[in-house]
Chain A
Protein backbone atom coordinates (compact mmCIF):
# COMPACT_ATOMS: atom_id res chain seq x y z
CA UNK A 1 0.00 0.00 0.00
CA UNK A 2 2.76 2.40 1.02
CA UNK A 3 4.68 1.86 -2.19
CA UNK A 4 1.50 2.36 -4.18
CA UNK A 5 0.82 5.70 -2.51
CA UNK A 6 4.43 6.76 -3.00
CA UNK A 7 4.19 5.88 -6.69
CA UNK A 8 1.00 7.84 -7.08
CA UNK A 9 2.46 10.84 -5.27
CA UNK A 10 5.45 10.84 -7.61
CA UNK A 11 3.07 10.74 -10.54
CA UNK A 12 1.11 13.59 -8.95
CA UNK A 13 4.24 15.75 -8.74
CA UNK A 14 5.01 15.14 -12.42
CA UNK A 15 1.41 15.91 -13.43
CA UNK A 16 1.33 19.10 -11.36
CA UNK A 17 4.61 20.19 -12.92
CA UNK A 18 3.28 19.53 -16.42
CA UNK A 19 0.01 21.27 -15.61
CA UNK A 20 1.79 24.38 -14.39
CA UNK A 21 4.07 24.34 -17.43
CA UNK A 22 1.10 24.13 -19.76
CA UNK A 23 -0.76 26.87 -17.88
CA UNK A 24 2.26 29.13 -18.09
CA UNK A 25 2.73 28.35 -21.78
CA UNK A 26 -0.92 29.23 -22.42
CA UNK A 27 -0.55 32.68 -20.91
CA UNK A 28 2.86 33.16 -22.53
CA UNK A 29 1.34 32.56 -25.95
CA UNK A 30 -1.71 34.69 -25.18
CA UNK A 31 -2.16 37.67 -27.43
CA UNK A 32 -1.73 41.14 -25.92
CA UNK A 33 1.02 42.75 -23.96
CA UNK A 34 0.92 42.31 -20.19
CA UNK A 35 2.97 45.45 -19.59
CA UNK A 36 0.61 47.58 -21.66
CA UNK A 37 -2.37 46.01 -19.91
CA UNK A 38 -0.88 46.77 -16.51
CA UNK A 39 -0.20 50.40 -17.34
CA UNK A 40 -3.63 50.89 -18.85
CA UNK A 41 -5.14 49.28 -15.77
CA UNK A 42 -3.40 51.85 -13.60
CA UNK A 43 -4.45 54.65 -15.89
CA UNK A 44 -0.89 55.58 -16.80
CA UNK A 45 -0.28 57.33 -20.08
CA UNK A 46 1.82 55.00 -22.21
CA UNK A 47 4.93 55.91 -24.13
CA UNK A 48 7.24 53.42 -25.79
CA UNK A 49 9.97 54.25 -23.26
CA UNK A 50 7.75 53.57 -20.25
CA UNK A 51 6.47 50.39 -21.84
CA UNK A 52 9.96 49.07 -22.35
CA UNK A 53 10.90 49.89 -18.75
CA UNK A 54 7.78 48.17 -17.43
CA UNK A 55 8.43 45.10 -19.53
CA UNK A 56 11.93 44.99 -18.14
CA UNK A 57 10.71 45.38 -14.57
CA UNK A 58 8.07 42.68 -15.05
CA UNK A 59 10.75 40.38 -16.44
CA UNK A 60 8.98 39.91 -19.75
CA UNK A 61 12.15 40.30 -21.77
CA UNK A 62 13.89 37.26 -20.29
CA UNK A 63 14.00 33.87 -22.08
CA UNK A 64 10.88 31.70 -21.76
CA UNK A 65 12.36 28.98 -19.56
CA UNK A 66 13.82 31.48 -17.10
CA UNK A 67 10.48 33.24 -16.86
CA UNK A 68 8.80 29.89 -16.25
CA UNK A 69 11.31 28.87 -13.60
CA UNK A 70 10.89 32.19 -11.83
CA UNK A 71 7.11 31.94 -11.99
CA UNK A 72 7.14 28.34 -10.72
CA UNK A 73 9.43 29.33 -7.85
CA UNK A 74 6.96 31.99 -6.81
CA UNK A 75 3.98 29.65 -7.23
CA UNK A 76 5.66 27.15 -4.93
CA UNK A 77 5.72 29.93 -2.36
CA UNK A 78 2.02 30.51 -2.98
CA UNK A 79 2.75 33.75 -4.77
CA UNK A 80 0.74 33.84 -8.01
CA UNK A 81 1.64 37.40 -8.87
CA UNK A 82 -0.60 40.42 -8.80
CA UNK A 83 -3.73 41.19 -10.71
CA UNK A 84 -3.03 43.41 -13.71
CA UNK A 85 -6.27 45.24 -13.10
CA UNK A 86 -6.14 46.33 -9.47
CA UNK A 87 -2.74 45.10 -8.31
CA UNK A 88 -4.17 42.82 -5.63
CA UNK A 89 -2.31 39.54 -5.00
CA UNK A 90 -3.93 36.81 -7.12
CA UNK A 91 -3.59 34.23 -4.35
CA UNK A 92 -5.70 36.36 -2.02
CA UNK A 93 -8.39 36.84 -4.65
CA UNK A 94 -8.47 33.14 -5.39
CA UNK A 95 -8.69 32.23 -1.72
CA UNK A 96 -11.71 34.48 -1.32
CA UNK A 97 -13.34 33.08 -4.46
CA UNK A 98 -12.63 29.52 -3.42
CA UNK A 99 -14.80 29.93 -0.35
CA UNK A 100 -17.84 30.82 -2.42
CA UNK A 101 -17.24 28.10 -4.98
CA UNK A 102 -16.58 25.48 -2.32
CA UNK A 103 -19.87 26.27 -0.60
CA UNK A 104 -21.77 26.15 -3.88
CA UNK A 105 -20.08 22.96 -5.08
CA UNK A 106 -20.38 21.09 -1.80
CA UNK A 107 -24.08 21.84 -1.42
CA UNK A 108 -24.66 20.88 -5.05
CA UNK A 109 -22.71 17.66 -4.66
CA UNK A 110 -24.64 16.71 -1.51
CA UNK A 111 -27.90 17.58 -3.23
CA UNK A 112 -26.97 15.45 -6.26
CA UNK A 113 -26.07 12.51 -4.04
CA UNK A 114 -29.21 12.86 -1.94
CA UNK A 115 -31.39 12.77 -5.05
CA UNK A 116 -29.51 10.31 -7.23
CA UNK A 117 -28.75 7.59 -4.65
CA UNK A 118 -32.35 6.68 -3.76
CA UNK A 119 -33.52 7.12 -7.35
CA UNK A 120 -30.80 4.90 -8.77
CA UNK A 121 -31.45 2.22 -6.12
CA UNK A 122 -35.18 2.20 -6.93
CA UNK A 123 -34.41 2.20 -10.64
CA UNK A 124 -31.98 -0.73 -10.38
CA UNK A 125 -34.11 -2.84 -8.04
CA UNK A 126 -37.30 -2.35 -10.05
CA UNK A 127 -35.63 -2.67 -13.43
CA UNK A 128 -38.14 -2.48 -16.29
CA UNK A 129 -40.92 -1.05 -14.11
CA UNK A 130 -42.71 2.21 -14.76
CA UNK A 131 -40.67 3.93 -12.03
CA UNK A 132 -37.46 2.77 -13.68
CA UNK A 133 -38.55 4.11 -17.06
CA UNK A 134 -39.56 7.46 -15.56
CA UNK A 135 -36.28 7.83 -13.68
CA UNK A 136 -34.25 6.93 -16.75
CA UNK A 137 -36.19 9.39 -18.87
CA UNK A 138 -35.64 12.14 -16.31
CA UNK A 139 -31.93 11.44 -16.11
CA UNK A 140 -31.74 11.39 -19.90
CA UNK A 141 -33.45 14.75 -20.20
CA UNK A 142 -31.32 16.18 -17.40
CA UNK A 143 -28.21 14.99 -19.17
CA UNK A 144 -29.20 16.90 -22.30
CA UNK A 145 -29.81 20.20 -20.51
CA UNK A 146 -26.89 22.61 -20.49
CA UNK A 147 -26.70 24.21 -17.04
CA UNK A 148 -26.86 27.77 -18.38
CA UNK A 149 -30.17 26.84 -19.92
CA UNK A 150 -31.49 25.33 -16.70
CA UNK A 151 -30.52 28.49 -14.83
CA UNK A 152 -32.20 30.83 -17.31
CA UNK A 153 -35.37 28.73 -17.39
CA UNK A 154 -35.45 28.47 -13.59
CA UNK A 155 -35.02 32.21 -13.30
CA UNK A 156 -37.81 32.80 -15.79
CA UNK A 157 -40.35 30.46 -14.23
CA UNK A 158 -39.50 30.74 -10.53
CA UNK A 159 -38.27 34.30 -10.20
CA UNK A 160 -39.95 36.25 -12.96
CA UNK A 161 -43.24 34.42 -13.37
CA UNK A 162 -43.93 33.20 -9.84
CA UNK A 163 -41.69 35.54 -7.86
CA UNK A 164 -40.68 32.81 -5.45
CA UNK A 165 -36.92 33.28 -5.22
CA UNK A 166 -34.36 36.04 -5.61
CA UNK A 167 -32.61 36.29 -9.00
CA UNK A 168 -29.29 37.42 -7.62
CA UNK A 169 -27.90 34.83 -5.24
CA UNK A 170 -26.89 36.03 -1.79
CA UNK A 171 -25.36 33.85 0.90
CA UNK A 172 -28.74 33.15 2.49
CA UNK A 173 -30.40 29.77 2.16
CA UNK A 174 -32.97 31.09 -0.31
CA UNK A 175 -30.23 32.53 -2.47
CA UNK A 176 -28.42 29.19 -2.60
CA UNK A 177 -31.37 27.18 -3.90
CA UNK A 178 -31.39 28.16 -7.56
CA UNK A 179 -27.66 28.05 -8.29
CA UNK A 180 -27.33 24.70 -6.53
CA UNK A 181 -30.29 23.17 -8.35
CA UNK A 182 -28.98 24.43 -11.69
CA UNK A 183 -25.51 23.10 -10.94
CA UNK A 184 -26.79 19.71 -9.72
CA UNK A 185 -29.15 18.73 -12.52
CA UNK A 186 -26.56 17.58 -15.07
CA UNK A 187 -24.44 15.96 -12.36
CA UNK A 188 -27.44 14.27 -10.80
CA UNK A 189 -28.47 12.82 -14.15
CA UNK A 190 -25.04 11.41 -14.75
CA UNK A 191 -24.91 9.95 -11.23
CA UNK A 192 -28.26 8.19 -11.68
CA UNK A 193 -27.15 6.71 -14.96
CA UNK A 194 -23.83 5.44 -13.71
CA UNK A 195 -24.98 4.37 -10.24
CA UNK A 196 -27.79 2.39 -11.83
CA UNK A 197 -25.37 0.61 -14.15
CA UNK A 198 -23.06 -0.23 -11.22
CA UNK A 199 -25.92 -1.53 -9.10
CA UNK A 200 -27.29 -3.64 -11.94
CA UNK A 201 -23.89 -5.14 -12.51
CA UNK A 202 -23.60 -6.08 -8.84
CA UNK A 203 -27.16 -7.45 -8.78
CA UNK A 204 -26.38 -9.78 -11.69
CA UNK A 205 -23.43 -11.35 -9.88
CA UNK A 206 -23.79 -14.95 -8.67
CA UNK A 207 -23.39 -14.06 -5.00
CA UNK A 208 -26.69 -12.19 -5.08
CA UNK A 209 -28.74 -15.01 -6.55
CA UNK A 210 -26.88 -17.44 -4.28
CA UNK A 211 -27.77 -15.47 -1.18
CA UNK A 212 -31.35 -15.02 -2.36
CA UNK A 213 -31.66 -18.78 -2.91
CA UNK A 214 -30.35 -19.52 0.53
CA UNK A 215 -33.06 -17.26 1.91
CA UNK A 216 -30.86 -14.43 3.11
CA UNK A 217 -32.92 -11.38 3.99
CA UNK A 218 -33.47 -8.89 1.21
CA UNK A 219 -32.19 -5.92 3.17
CA UNK A 220 -28.99 -7.76 4.02
CA UNK A 221 -28.30 -8.57 0.37
CA UNK A 222 -28.95 -4.97 -0.58
CA UNK A 223 -26.46 -3.83 2.01
CA UNK A 224 -23.79 -6.04 0.48
CA UNK A 225 -24.64 -4.92 -3.02
CA UNK A 226 -24.39 -1.28 -2.00
CA UNK A 227 -21.09 -1.89 -0.27
CA UNK A 228 -19.61 -3.48 -3.38
CA UNK A 229 -21.05 -0.89 -5.74
CA UNK A 230 -19.86 2.08 -3.70
CA UNK A 231 -16.26 1.60 -4.80
CA UNK A 232 -16.75 2.38 -8.49
CA UNK A 233 -19.37 4.97 -7.54
CA UNK A 234 -16.68 6.83 -5.61
CA UNK A 235 -14.70 7.33 -8.83
CA UNK A 236 -17.77 8.75 -10.54
CA UNK A 237 -18.18 11.24 -7.69
CA UNK A 238 -14.49 12.16 -7.85
CA UNK A 239 -14.67 12.85 -11.59
CA UNK A 240 -17.75 15.04 -11.09
CA UNK A 241 -15.56 17.59 -9.30
CA UNK A 242 -14.29 18.69 -12.70
CA UNK A 243 -17.83 19.20 -13.95
CA UNK A 244 -18.68 21.15 -10.80
CA UNK A 245 -15.71 23.47 -11.21
CA UNK A 246 -16.41 24.07 -14.90
CA UNK A 247 -20.14 24.46 -14.34
CA UNK A 248 -19.65 26.91 -11.51
CA UNK A 249 -18.16 29.42 -13.96
CA UNK A 250 -21.45 29.58 -15.82
CA UNK A 251 -23.65 29.44 -12.74
CA UNK A 252 -21.69 32.06 -10.81
CA UNK A 253 -21.77 34.41 -13.78
CA UNK A 254 -25.53 34.08 -14.12
CA UNK A 255 -26.39 34.39 -10.43
CA UNK A 256 -23.58 36.82 -9.61
CA UNK A 257 -22.27 34.47 -7.00
CA UNK A 258 -18.92 35.65 -5.63
CA UNK A 259 -16.73 32.63 -6.41
CA UNK A 260 -13.84 31.39 -8.51
CA UNK A 261 -15.92 31.17 -11.66
CA UNK A 262 -17.10 34.75 -11.54
CA UNK A 263 -13.56 35.85 -10.74
CA UNK A 264 -12.32 33.98 -13.81
CA UNK A 265 -14.98 35.42 -16.11
CA UNK A 266 -14.24 38.95 -14.90
CA UNK A 267 -10.56 38.29 -15.45
CA UNK A 268 -11.25 37.06 -19.00
CA UNK A 269 -13.24 40.20 -19.75
CA UNK A 270 -10.38 42.33 -18.45
CA UNK A 271 -7.65 40.13 -19.98
CA UNK A 272 -6.24 39.84 -16.48
CA UNK A 273 -3.84 36.98 -17.29
CA UNK A 274 -2.34 36.29 -13.85
CA UNK A 275 -5.84 35.74 -12.43
CA UNK A 276 -6.85 33.40 -15.27
CA UNK A 277 -3.57 31.57 -14.81
CA UNK A 278 -4.18 31.21 -11.08
CA UNK A 279 -7.73 30.02 -11.68
CA UNK A 280 -6.73 27.31 -14.16
CA UNK A 281 -3.88 26.17 -11.95
CA UNK A 282 -5.97 26.08 -8.77
CA UNK A 283 -8.92 24.22 -10.31
CA UNK A 284 -6.72 21.59 -11.91
CA UNK A 285 -4.79 21.08 -8.67
CA UNK A 286 -8.12 20.57 -6.89
CA UNK A 287 -9.28 18.20 -9.62
CA UNK A 288 -6.10 16.15 -9.73
CA UNK A 289 -5.81 15.88 -5.97
CA UNK A 290 -9.46 14.85 -5.48
CA UNK A 291 -9.07 12.15 -8.07
CA UNK A 292 -5.88 10.94 -6.45
CA UNK A 293 -7.64 10.77 -3.08
CA UNK A 294 -10.61 8.85 -4.51
CA UNK A 295 -8.21 6.50 -6.25
CA UNK A 296 -6.34 5.84 -3.02
CA UNK A 297 -9.66 5.32 -1.20
CA UNK A 298 -10.59 2.90 -3.95
CA UNK A 299 -7.49 0.87 -3.21
CA UNK A 300 -7.93 1.13 0.56
CA UNK A 301 -11.45 -0.27 0.33
CA UNK A 302 -10.50 -2.97 -2.13
CA UNK A 303 -6.88 -4.09 -1.58
CA UNK A 304 -7.24 -6.76 -4.28
CA UNK A 305 -6.66 -4.07 -6.89
CA UNK A 306 -3.13 -3.57 -5.63
CA UNK A 307 -2.16 -7.05 -6.72
CA UNK A 308 -3.82 -6.77 -10.09
CA UNK A 309 -2.69 -3.51 -11.57
CA UNK A 310 -0.28 -1.81 -9.21
CA UNK A 311 0.45 1.72 -10.31
CA UNK A 312 -2.31 1.82 -12.90
CA UNK A 313 -4.55 4.81 -12.84
CA UNK A 314 -7.75 2.85 -12.31
CA UNK A 315 -10.46 3.00 -14.91
Chain B
Protein backbone atom coordinates (compact mmCIF):
# COMPACT_ATOMS: atom_id res chain seq x y z
CA UNK B 1 0.00 0.00 0.00
CA UNK B 2 2.68 2.39 1.12
CA UNK B 3 4.95 1.37 -1.68
CA UNK B 4 2.12 1.91 -4.12
CA UNK B 5 1.73 5.48 -2.81
CA UNK B 6 5.44 6.15 -3.08
CA UNK B 7 5.41 4.88 -6.63
CA UNK B 8 2.56 7.18 -7.46
CA UNK B 9 4.24 10.28 -6.02
CA UNK B 10 7.41 9.40 -7.90
CA UNK B 11 5.44 9.02 -11.06
CA UNK B 12 3.74 12.33 -10.43
CA UNK B 13 7.11 13.97 -9.86
CA UNK B 14 8.57 12.68 -13.09
CA UNK B 15 5.42 13.69 -14.94
CA UNK B 16 5.77 17.17 -13.53
CA UNK B 17 9.40 17.28 -14.62
CA UNK B 18 8.47 16.12 -18.10
CA UNK B 19 5.73 18.72 -18.35
CA UNK B 20 8.11 21.47 -17.27
CA UNK B 21 10.71 20.29 -19.75
CA UNK B 22 8.11 20.27 -22.54
CA UNK B 23 6.99 23.77 -21.61
CA UNK B 24 10.48 25.24 -21.76
CA UNK B 25 11.35 23.24 -24.86
CA UNK B 26 8.34 24.84 -26.56
CA UNK B 27 9.35 28.30 -25.29
CA UNK B 28 12.94 27.89 -26.46
CA UNK B 29 11.76 26.37 -29.72
CA UNK B 30 9.40 29.30 -30.19
CA UNK B 31 12.28 31.70 -29.67
CA UNK B 32 14.36 29.82 -32.21
CA UNK B 33 11.56 29.90 -34.78
CA UNK B 34 11.04 33.58 -34.06
CA UNK B 35 14.72 34.29 -34.59
CA UNK B 36 14.85 32.16 -37.71
CA UNK B 37 11.96 34.05 -39.30
CA UNK B 38 12.88 37.38 -37.70
CA UNK B 39 12.88 39.33 -40.98
CA UNK B 40 9.18 38.53 -41.46
CA UNK B 41 8.22 39.90 -38.05
CA UNK B 42 10.18 43.14 -38.25
CA UNK B 43 7.84 46.14 -38.38
CA UNK B 44 10.54 48.22 -40.11
CA UNK B 45 13.86 47.80 -41.83
CA UNK B 46 16.35 47.20 -38.98
CA UNK B 47 19.19 48.87 -40.87
CA UNK B 48 17.39 51.89 -42.31
CA UNK B 49 18.63 55.11 -40.70
CA UNK B 50 16.76 58.37 -40.74
CA UNK B 51 17.59 61.76 -39.29
CA UNK B 52 13.89 62.60 -38.93
CA UNK B 53 13.04 59.95 -36.37
CA UNK B 54 16.09 59.98 -34.10
CA UNK B 55 15.63 58.94 -30.46
CA UNK B 56 11.86 58.64 -30.76
CA UNK B 57 9.88 57.21 -27.85
CA UNK B 58 7.88 54.04 -28.51
CA UNK B 59 4.90 54.76 -30.78
CA UNK B 60 2.68 52.96 -33.30
CA UNK B 61 5.19 53.05 -36.10
CA UNK B 62 8.14 52.11 -33.90
CA UNK B 63 6.83 49.82 -31.11
CA UNK B 64 10.06 50.14 -29.10
CA UNK B 65 11.18 53.56 -30.27
CA UNK B 66 14.23 54.43 -32.33
CA UNK B 67 17.93 54.80 -31.57
CA UNK B 68 20.15 57.75 -32.26
CA UNK B 69 20.42 56.88 -35.93
CA UNK B 70 16.65 56.64 -36.24
CA UNK B 71 16.69 52.86 -36.60
CA UNK B 72 13.70 50.85 -35.39
CA UNK B 73 14.67 49.23 -32.06
CA UNK B 74 11.95 46.58 -32.26
CA UNK B 75 13.23 45.31 -35.60
CA UNK B 76 16.80 45.39 -34.35
CA UNK B 77 15.90 43.44 -31.21
CA UNK B 78 14.19 40.82 -33.36
CA UNK B 79 17.17 40.57 -35.70
CA UNK B 80 19.45 40.51 -32.66
CA UNK B 81 17.62 37.42 -31.42
CA UNK B 82 18.81 35.69 -34.54
CA UNK B 83 22.43 36.65 -33.89
CA UNK B 84 22.40 35.72 -30.20
CA UNK B 85 20.44 32.49 -30.36
CA UNK B 86 22.07 31.25 -33.53
CA UNK B 87 25.62 32.02 -32.43
CA UNK B 88 25.17 30.53 -28.95
CA UNK B 89 23.53 27.29 -30.07
CA UNK B 90 25.92 26.86 -32.99
CA UNK B 91 28.87 27.47 -30.67
CA UNK B 92 27.63 24.93 -28.13
CA UNK B 93 27.00 22.39 -30.90
CA UNK B 94 30.49 22.84 -32.37
CA UNK B 95 32.34 22.74 -29.05
CA UNK B 96 30.21 19.75 -28.04
CA UNK B 97 31.16 17.83 -31.17
CA UNK B 98 34.86 18.67 -30.99
CA UNK B 99 35.14 18.18 -27.24
CA UNK B 100 33.22 14.92 -27.18
CA UNK B 101 35.18 13.45 -30.08
CA UNK B 102 38.52 14.37 -28.52
CA UNK B 103 37.40 13.11 -25.10
CA UNK B 104 36.19 9.79 -26.52
CA UNK B 105 39.43 9.26 -28.43
CA UNK B 106 41.55 10.27 -25.44
CA UNK B 107 39.67 7.96 -23.10
CA UNK B 108 39.63 5.01 -25.48
CA UNK B 109 43.16 5.05 -26.83
CA UNK B 110 44.92 6.46 -23.78
CA UNK B 111 48.66 6.89 -24.10
CA UNK B 112 49.97 9.72 -26.21
CA UNK B 113 46.55 10.78 -27.56
CA UNK B 114 45.21 11.06 -24.02
CA UNK B 115 48.24 12.97 -22.76
CA UNK B 116 48.18 15.39 -25.65
CA UNK B 117 44.45 16.16 -25.45
CA UNK B 118 44.35 16.49 -21.69
CA UNK B 119 47.51 18.61 -21.51
CA UNK B 120 46.07 21.06 -24.01
CA UNK B 121 42.81 21.11 -22.05
CA UNK B 122 44.77 21.77 -18.83
CA UNK B 123 46.49 24.75 -20.39
CA UNK B 124 43.21 26.18 -21.71
CA UNK B 125 41.68 25.83 -18.25
CA UNK B 126 44.59 27.76 -16.75
CA UNK B 127 43.24 30.93 -18.37
CA UNK B 128 40.14 32.57 -16.93
CA UNK B 129 37.62 31.94 -19.72
CA UNK B 130 36.53 35.53 -20.30
CA UNK B 131 40.08 36.89 -20.11
CA UNK B 132 41.24 34.57 -22.87
CA UNK B 133 38.10 35.27 -24.89
CA UNK B 134 38.63 39.02 -24.61
CA UNK B 135 42.28 38.70 -25.59
CA UNK B 136 41.59 36.43 -28.57
CA UNK B 137 38.60 38.41 -29.83
CA UNK B 138 40.46 41.67 -29.23
CA UNK B 139 43.47 40.54 -31.21
CA UNK B 140 41.46 39.04 -34.05
CA UNK B 141 39.38 42.20 -34.12
CA UNK B 142 35.75 41.22 -33.63
CA UNK B 143 33.20 39.71 -35.95
CA UNK B 144 30.83 36.92 -35.01
CA UNK B 145 33.11 34.13 -36.18
CA UNK B 146 36.03 35.46 -34.17
CA UNK B 147 33.87 35.97 -31.07
CA UNK B 148 32.68 32.38 -31.36
CA UNK B 149 36.23 31.16 -31.77
CA UNK B 150 37.26 33.18 -28.71
CA UNK B 151 34.57 31.60 -26.55
CA UNK B 152 35.03 28.12 -28.01
CA UNK B 153 38.77 27.97 -27.44
CA UNK B 154 38.12 27.03 -23.80
CA UNK B 155 34.56 25.73 -24.23
CA UNK B 156 35.42 22.32 -25.69
CA UNK B 157 37.44 21.27 -22.62
CA UNK B 158 34.26 20.71 -20.60
CA UNK B 159 32.98 17.99 -22.94
CA UNK B 160 36.42 16.52 -23.52
CA UNK B 161 37.04 16.04 -19.80
CA UNK B 162 33.56 14.63 -19.20
CA UNK B 163 33.62 12.23 -22.15
CA UNK B 164 37.10 11.01 -21.27
CA UNK B 165 36.20 10.33 -17.64
CA UNK B 166 33.08 8.44 -18.67
CA UNK B 167 34.88 6.35 -21.27
CA UNK B 168 37.55 5.44 -18.74
CA UNK B 169 34.94 4.12 -16.34
CA UNK B 170 32.88 2.37 -19.02
CA UNK B 171 35.91 0.68 -20.58
CA UNK B 172 35.99 -1.84 -17.75
CA UNK B 173 32.31 -2.75 -18.08
CA UNK B 174 31.67 -6.33 -19.25
CA UNK B 175 29.49 -5.27 -22.16
CA UNK B 176 32.20 -3.05 -23.57
CA UNK B 177 34.74 -5.83 -23.10
CA UNK B 178 32.37 -8.18 -24.87
CA UNK B 179 31.98 -5.79 -27.76
CA UNK B 180 35.74 -5.54 -27.97
CA UNK B 181 36.20 -9.32 -27.91
CA UNK B 182 33.61 -9.76 -30.62
CA UNK B 183 35.95 -7.86 -32.89
CA UNK B 184 34.06 -4.61 -33.35
CA UNK B 185 36.17 -1.70 -34.48
CA UNK B 186 36.98 1.09 -32.05
CA UNK B 187 34.77 3.48 -33.96
CA UNK B 188 31.81 1.12 -33.80
CA UNK B 189 32.24 0.54 -30.07
CA UNK B 190 32.60 4.26 -29.29
CA UNK B 191 29.69 5.23 -31.49
CA UNK B 192 27.30 2.35 -30.87
CA UNK B 193 28.07 1.15 -27.36
CA UNK B 194 29.70 3.91 -25.34
CA UNK B 195 28.23 7.12 -26.75
CA UNK B 196 24.57 6.24 -26.10
CA UNK B 197 25.45 5.61 -22.46
CA UNK B 198 27.21 8.91 -21.85
CA UNK B 199 25.13 11.13 -24.08
CA UNK B 200 22.76 12.15 -21.25
CA UNK B 201 25.46 13.65 -19.06
CA UNK B 202 27.03 15.40 -22.02
CA UNK B 203 23.72 16.83 -23.23
CA UNK B 204 22.85 18.17 -19.79
CA UNK B 205 26.15 20.01 -19.66
CA UNK B 206 25.70 21.27 -23.20
CA UNK B 207 22.22 22.59 -22.46
CA UNK B 208 23.45 24.54 -19.44
CA UNK B 209 26.19 26.06 -21.59
CA UNK B 210 23.87 27.81 -24.07
CA UNK B 211 23.07 30.60 -21.59
CA UNK B 212 26.73 30.93 -20.62
CA UNK B 213 27.82 31.29 -24.24
CA UNK B 214 25.04 33.78 -24.92
CA UNK B 215 26.21 35.97 -22.04
CA UNK B 216 29.81 35.61 -23.19
CA UNK B 217 29.18 36.62 -26.79
CA UNK B 218 26.93 39.50 -25.71
CA UNK B 219 29.69 40.63 -23.33
CA UNK B 220 32.28 40.60 -26.12
CA UNK B 221 29.94 42.55 -28.39
CA UNK B 222 29.30 45.02 -25.59
CA UNK B 223 33.04 45.61 -25.35
CA UNK B 224 33.10 46.23 -29.08
CA UNK B 225 35.11 43.10 -29.92
CA UNK B 226 32.25 40.77 -30.80
CA UNK B 227 29.54 41.25 -33.38
CA UNK B 228 30.11 44.70 -34.83
CA UNK B 229 27.86 47.51 -35.92
CA UNK B 230 25.75 47.83 -37.96
CA UNK B 231 24.77 44.18 -37.39
CA UNK B 232 22.02 43.95 -34.82
CA UNK B 233 23.27 42.31 -31.63
CA UNK B 234 21.91 42.97 -28.16
CA UNK B 235 25.27 43.52 -26.46
CA UNK B 236 26.49 46.02 -29.01
CA UNK B 237 23.08 47.73 -29.10
CA UNK B 238 23.28 48.28 -25.34
CA UNK B 239 26.81 49.59 -25.63
CA UNK B 240 25.94 51.99 -28.42
CA UNK B 241 22.86 53.36 -26.67
CA UNK B 242 24.15 53.62 -23.13
CA UNK B 243 25.71 57.01 -23.77
CA UNK B 244 22.25 58.29 -24.70
CA UNK B 245 20.43 56.58 -21.87
CA UNK B 246 19.04 59.88 -20.56
CA UNK B 247 17.56 60.76 -23.95
CA UNK B 248 16.43 57.35 -25.12
CA UNK B 249 16.28 54.79 -22.29
CA UNK B 250 14.17 52.44 -24.45
CA UNK B 251 17.16 51.91 -26.72
CA UNK B 252 18.93 50.24 -23.78
CA UNK B 253 16.00 48.71 -21.95
CA UNK B 254 14.55 46.82 -24.96
CA UNK B 255 17.69 44.83 -25.84
CA UNK B 256 18.43 44.44 -22.11
CA UNK B 257 15.03 42.90 -21.49
CA UNK B 258 15.39 40.64 -24.51
CA UNK B 259 18.79 39.41 -23.28
CA UNK B 260 17.56 38.68 -19.75
CA UNK B 261 14.43 36.84 -20.90
CA UNK B 262 16.26 34.77 -23.52
CA UNK B 263 19.13 33.81 -21.24
CA UNK B 264 16.68 32.93 -18.49
CA UNK B 265 14.62 30.70 -20.76
CA UNK B 266 17.69 28.85 -21.99
CA UNK B 267 19.13 28.55 -18.49
CA UNK B 268 15.84 27.21 -17.20
CA UNK B 269 15.71 24.77 -20.10
CA UNK B 270 19.15 23.54 -19.03
CA UNK B 271 17.93 23.03 -15.46
CA UNK B 272 14.85 21.17 -16.69
CA UNK B 273 16.94 18.85 -18.87
CA UNK B 274 19.17 18.17 -15.88
CA UNK B 275 16.23 17.41 -13.58
CA UNK B 276 14.56 15.26 -16.19
CA UNK B 277 17.60 13.15 -16.99
CA UNK B 278 18.63 13.31 -13.34
CA UNK B 279 22.37 13.79 -13.87
CA UNK B 280 24.65 16.24 -12.17
CA UNK B 281 26.08 19.04 -14.26
CA UNK B 282 29.72 19.91 -13.90
CA UNK B 283 30.64 23.44 -12.79
Tell me if B19 is interfacial: C-beta within 8 Å of chain A. Answer: no
| B218 & A246 in contact (Cβ 8 Å cutoff) | no
Taken residue by residue from 136 to 149, chain A's Cβ proximity to chain B (1 for < 8 Å, 0 otherwise) reads as 00001101111111
Taken residue by residue from 19 to 56, chain A's Cβ proximity to chain B (1 for < 8 Å, 0 otherwise) reads as 10010001100110000000000000000000000000
25 A-B residue pairings within 8 Å (CB atoms): A18-B119, A18-B123, A18-B126, A27-B139, A31-B140, A140-B264, A146-B218, A146-B263, A148-B218, A148-B239, A160-B245, A160-B246, A243-B128, A245-B128, A245-B131, A249-B131, A250-B222, A253-B223, A264-B135, A264-B138, A268-B138, A276-B138, A276-B139, A280-B127, A287-B127
- Once the chains are docked, how many angstroms separate the CA of A145 from the CA of B259? 8
| B235 & A148 in contact (Cβ 8 Å cutoff) | yes
| A156 & B249 in contact (Cβ 8 Å cutoff) | yes
Q: A148-B223, A246-B134, A276-B138 are in contact. List 15 more A-B contacts (CB 8 A).
A: A15-B126, A26-B136, A27-B139, A31-B141, A140-B267, A141-B260, A148-B219, A153-B256, A242-B129, A250-B219, A250-B223, A268-B135, A273-B139, A283-B131, A287-B128
Given A148-B219, A152-B252, A160-B245: A143 in contact with B267 (beta carbons within 8 A): yes
Tell me, rounded to whole Å, the shortest Cβ–Cβ distance linking A299 to chain B.
19
Contact partner of B132 (CB less than 8 A), chosen from A141, A147, A250, A280, is: A280
Given A152-B242, A153-B256, A280-B127: A144 in contact with B139 (beta carbons within 8 A): no
Majority DSSP secondary structure for residues of A touching B = helix
| B126 & A249 in contact (Cβ 8 Å cutoff) | no
| A243 & B130 in contact (Cβ 8 Å cutoff) | yes
In the assembled complex, which residues on chain B have CB atoms less than 8 Å from the CB atom of A152?
A: 238, 242, 245, 252, 256
- Once the chains are docked, how many angstroms separate the CA of A265 from the CA of B123? 23
| B219 & A280 in contact (Cβ 8 Å cutoff) | no
In the assembled complex, which residues on chain A have CB atoms less than 8 Å from the CB atom of B222?
A: 146, 148, 250
Give the size range of B's interface with the partner.
35 or more
Q: Which of B137-190 contact A (CB under 8 A)?
A: 138-141
In the assembled complex, which residues on chain A have CB atoms less than 8 Å from the CB atom of B225?
A: 268
- Once the chains are docked, how many angstroms separate the CA of A247 from the CA of B246? 25
Q: Which of B226-273 contact A (CB under 8 A)?
A: 235, 238-239, 242, 245-246, 249, 252-253, 256, 259-260, 263-264, 267-268, 271
Give the size range of A's interface with the partner.
35 or more
- Once the chains are docked, how many angstroms separate the CA of A268 from the CA of B136? 10
| B139 & A30 in contact (Cβ 8 Å cutoff) | yes
Taken residue by residue from 259 to 294, chain A's Cβ proximity to chain B (1 for < 8 Å, 0 otherwise) reads as 000001100100001001001100110011000000
| A242 & B131 in contact (Cβ 8 Å cutoff) | yes
| Cβ-closest chain A residue relative to B264 | A144
Most buried by B among A148, A253, A265: A148
Given A144-B211, A153-B256, A265-B223: A242 in contact with B128 (beta carbons within 8 A): yes
